[in-house]
Every structure is written in C-alpha cells, then in structure tokens.
C-alpha cells in the first residue's frame, strides 16, 4: 500500500506554495470552507487559479476542500435533520465541483462538545454519522456521473473524547481515511509541561496520550488500520514560568506574582521556521530528546517548547510503514518556510 503525505494549507497564502513541494504531496487539503446558514460556503479572495497550476505540476496530487476547523460552527445545526443534511451535502458537493476539487474533508472537530463556542448537542453523535453518510451518497452519485473517484475524509480529535462523541465504526465505512490530529495532545488547558505531538507515552508522563495510543484506540473502535492517518505539527506548544528541574519536562508551570507576566500554559507557540531561527540551540535554549516518546523539546530554564522536528517525523514515518497505516498529514504548510519537515517526510517515505 502506498502511504500518503497530506498537507493542510490555508487559503490566503495558497499561491505561495512551491512547485517542488507540490511534487512531494499526495493530497492537498485546502483550508477552510465554512458552514453558514446550513450551507457550505467558500469565503476567500485568494486566486484559486493556482489550483490549476498545481494540477499541471503534479497531476496525481488530489486537491480536497476542507470544511470547518477550530472554532468553526454550523455543523450541529446542519446535521440535525434530513432536510438540513440534504442542504449541506448538496452545497458542499456543488462547491467541490465548482472549483474542481477531488473530494471533501470534514473538520467538525467537536461533535457533542461546545468547544470554541460552537453549538453542540448529544444528538450530534448519531447526526455526525448521518451527515457523513449523506455526503458519501452525494459523492457516489457524482462519481457515477463524472467518471472519477471523489475522496471523503475527516480530521478527528486524537483522544478518547472524540470516540465517545462519534460512531467511528459506522463513520469509517463511508470514509477513505481518518486524519488523527495527533498534535495539541497537550495544550492550553494543562499547566504541566510535556509533548504535544509525541509518538509514544513516556514513563514520567501522567497524561497517557500519544499518536500510538490514538491510532490503536481508533483501530479498536472500528477504523481499519489502512484508513488511519497520523498528524504532525509544524508549530510548538509553549509554557512559561517553568521551574528549572528535569530540563523543564513534566513540570508544573508556576503562576507569577500579580505584577508578573500573565500566566501561560500550553499556549500556541512559535512555528517551526521561528523555532529554527530563534529557539533550537539558540538564545539560551537547549534542544533535548525524549527517546521513549520519540519527541524533542527546547528549554532555557524558564520557557518550555514542545514541537515536531526531523527526527520525530522520521520516527512517525517508520511507525506508519511498520504498522501499515494510511499516511501522515500535517498542520500547517506555511509554518515551515525552511521546507525541512516536508522534505523529511518525502525522503523517509521514499527510501
């Protein structure tokens, strides 16, 4: 089985993607369309003429429109009734065909959970299955009409909460693959430092979440192994006011005095390009490696940054190949202007 390299790239900068990188990709997820008044809509001033150029550069790369993302609402309402599901599916496929995309990626990140101030209800669990089934039905209809294969995928939260909120065995039957967001596995709601994109668990970590655990949990929930895609992070998570012990790893960040800096734990940290330029073994920061977790971090005695790099991504590729998973996706293309991480993926998958 050929494993896939899948990139998320945001619309404003899409024309800046390089031909060399386009040649390395199997799927490009264009982020994001939204749900408004029950309809899938693409609100952008980006020149999408670049998509035709991408197709010339790499005719085998699939171009998929991603709908949703963090804080994007409208899904719960769109999934609620047969009529609302019909409207959403019809407009999503119209949008896909208008711009000559090769499929739809659903990024409804929190069914049944009102995270990001979006609507949610307990019925989302069954309605999520129903709206995915309706999308697949509509895609199948146009596959027969257009004589081509259309992809349907989702981006899924990596932890057990997502499995509790969905019927993954049923949902997976309609999907070409499930993209696990195996990043942000430790983030802003946690005061204890740690890896946010680790492949395995570490002995000293009280939070037992990892890419490996996520993949195995989804497989146990009924997602076939050859439909599971792991995720890689092109950015860091950051903790400040971290006491200087254990090189900052698995340490509780301290709240500063009232006159000090605002308390910060697990916030979205520098992107990979900035990490290379200013943090990795620079400006007082030292890079460390957790060989159990297969994950790096940097620390300067006070600030802790967790991220993915060449070494950790190579470990993920080895894991994907050994276990026969579908591939590796990453968020987000423009976070690495050095092109190092995508180059690593391509080299490791093709060696």
Q: Which of 36, 77, 94, 109 is catalytic?
A: 109
Which among 127, 129, 189 is positioned nearest to 159, based on CA atoms? 189
Q: What average pLDDT score do residues 122-135 get?
A: 98
Domains of the chain, CATH where assigned: 4-234+307-350 (3.20.20.80)
The pLDDT tens digits for 234-278 are 999 999 999 999 999 999 998 665 554 555 677 889 999 999 999
Distances (CA, A) of 246 to 224, 251, 264, 336, 339: 39, 8, 19, 29, 32
Which among 298, 305, 232 is positioned nearest to 267, based on CA atoms? 305
Return the pLDDT at 258. 54
The pLDDT tens digits for 213-226 are 999 999 999 999 99
Contact 230, 182 (CB under 8 A): yes
pTM, 2 dp: 0.96
* Side-chain half-sphere exposure of 327, counting CA atoms within 13 A: 20
- Confidence band of 44 (pLDDT split at 50, 70, 90): confident
Computed over every residue of the chain, the mean pLDDT equals: 95
Residue 332 a catalytic site member: no
Return the pLDDT at 267. 84
Residue 244: strand, helix, or coil:
coil
The pLDDT tens digits for 26-41 are 999 999 999 999 999 9
CA–CA separation, 28 vs 134, rounded Å? Answer: 23
Return the pLDDT at 115. 81
Label residues 255-267 b or e (16+ Cβ within 10 Å = b). Answer: eeeeeeeeebbbe
Place of tokens 């769109």: 78
The pLDDT tens digits for 153-171 are 999 999 999 999 999 999 9
């Amino acid at each position: 089985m050929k494993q896939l390299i899948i990139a998320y790239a945001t619309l404003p900068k899409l024309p800046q993607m390089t031909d060399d990188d386009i040649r390395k990709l199997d799927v490009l997820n264009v982020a994001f369309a939204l749900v408004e008044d029950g309809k899938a809509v693409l609100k952008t001033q980006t020149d999408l003429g670049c998509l035709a150029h991408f197709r010339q550069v790499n005719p085998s790369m699939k171009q998929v429109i991603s709908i949703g993302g963090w804080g994007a609402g409208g899904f719960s309402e769109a999934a609620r009734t047969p009529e609302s599901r019909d409207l959403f599916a019809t407009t999503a496929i119209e949008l896909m065909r208008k711009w000559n995309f090769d499929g739809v990626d659903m990024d409804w990140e929190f069914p049944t959970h009102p995270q990001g101030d979006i609507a949610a209800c307990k019925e989302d669990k069954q309605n999520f299955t129903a709206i995915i089934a309706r999308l697949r039905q509509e895609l199948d209809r146009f596959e027969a009409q257009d004589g081509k294969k259309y992809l349907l995928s989702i981006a899924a939260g990596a932890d057990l909460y997502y499995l509790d909120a969905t019927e993954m065995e049923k949902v997976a039957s309609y999907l070409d693959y499930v993209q696990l967001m195996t990043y942000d596995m430790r983030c802003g709601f946690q005061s204890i430092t740690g890896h946010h994109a680790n492949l395995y668990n570490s002995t000293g970590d009280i939070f037992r979440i990892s890419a490996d655990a996520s993949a195995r949990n989804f497989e146990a929930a009924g997602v076939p192994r050859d439909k599971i895609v792991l995720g890689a992070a092109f950015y860091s998570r950051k903790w400040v006011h971290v006491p200087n012990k254990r090189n900052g790893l698995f340490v509780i960040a301290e709240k500063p005095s009232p006159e000090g800096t605002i308390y910060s734990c697990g916030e979205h940290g520098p992107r990979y390009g900035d990490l290379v330029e200013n943090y990795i073994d620079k400006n007082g920061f030292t890079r460390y490696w957790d060989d159990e977790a297969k994950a790096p971090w940097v620390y300067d005695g006070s600030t802790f940054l967790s991220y993915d790099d060449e070494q950790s991504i190579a470990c993920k590729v080895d894991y994907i190949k050994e276990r026969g998973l579908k591939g590796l996706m990453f968020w987000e293309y423009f976070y690495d202007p050095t092109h190092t991480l995508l180059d690593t993926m391509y080299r490791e998958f093709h060696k």
